[in-house]
Amino acid sequence: MTDEPNAIGELRLATWPAHQRLEKRIDFKARLATALSYRGHLERMWGFYAALEPRLGSGVLAGVLRDYDTRRKLPLLTRDLLDLGLRPELLTRLPRCESVPACEEAAAAFGCAYVLEGATLGGRSLMPLVQTRLGLTADRGATFLASYGEAVGDMWRTFGSALNHHCRDRAQRDRANGAAVATFVALEDWLCGTMA
């Protein structure tokens, strides 16, 4: 029996309202209706990840989550966008989210990463729709959605274990919870706000 707190369970509870609000606002059916609408969705996701992943990987999270580099999704989003016809020179001109939360210390970085890792789980449920409607695959156009492939469960458990181990005290869990909620709010505004 372990005396580690269930930080990941607390994160799930803390973010539930924000997560549900985002799910209700985002219309995946419309976003995945055509190759063009899907590409537009991926461009928005690219802008969010391009703003947040460098902050997480700047040593903050990489120092406590050993496999962080294998979790980066920006290369996958880039590959998908190029597969979907975005010209390489336009990639750097895509808008980037300016309101991602601060994550200068590990507990907050874990909170932000929780949202990104959760999106990886969610991507699995969208794969059949993208395959059927758009003819895309894990190798072409949908690498972001398929990111961990069959290892998605193992990657989630590894992340949860590292999170639980690192966020042992109440203050750390509170920082992780606050950062995760702020990440969901920023993602909702970025994907569904007036500029989306």
Residues 114-130 pLDDT 10s: 999 999 988 888 999 99
**2 in any annotated domain:** no
| Interior angle at CA 77, CA 163 and CA 58, nearest 5 | 45
Q: Is 137 helix (H, G, I), strand (E, B) or coil?
A: strand
Which of the 8 DSSP states describes residue 149? Answer: G
**130 in any annotated domain:** yes
Q: Which of 5-19, 58-72, 73-87 has the lowest mean pLDDT?
A: 58-72
Q: Distance between CA atoms of 35 and 141, rounded to whole angstroms?
A: 9
pLDDT for 126-182, tens place per residue? 999 999 999 999 999 999 999 999 999 999 999 999 999 999 999 999 999 999 999
Q: What is the CATH number of the domain that holds 153?
A: 1.20.910.10
Q: What is the mean pLDDT of residues 103-121?
A: 92
Q: Distance between CA atoms of 142 and 127, rounded to whole angstroms?
A: 7
37, pLDDT greater than 80: yes
Which of the 8 DSSP states describes residue 195? Answer: T
Number of domains observed in the structure of the chain? 1
Q: What is the mean pLDDT of residues 82-97?
A: 95
Which structural domain, as residue segments, surrounds residue 176?
9-192
196, pLDDT greater than 60: no
**1 in any annotated domain:** no
| Interior angle at CA 69, CA 63 and CA 73, nearest 5 | 130
Q: Distance between CA atoms of 114 and 177, rounded to whole angstroms?
A: 9
**3 in any annotated domain:** no
**21 in any annotated domain:** yes
Residue 1: pLDDT band (50, 70, 90) is: very low
**4 in any annotated domain:** no
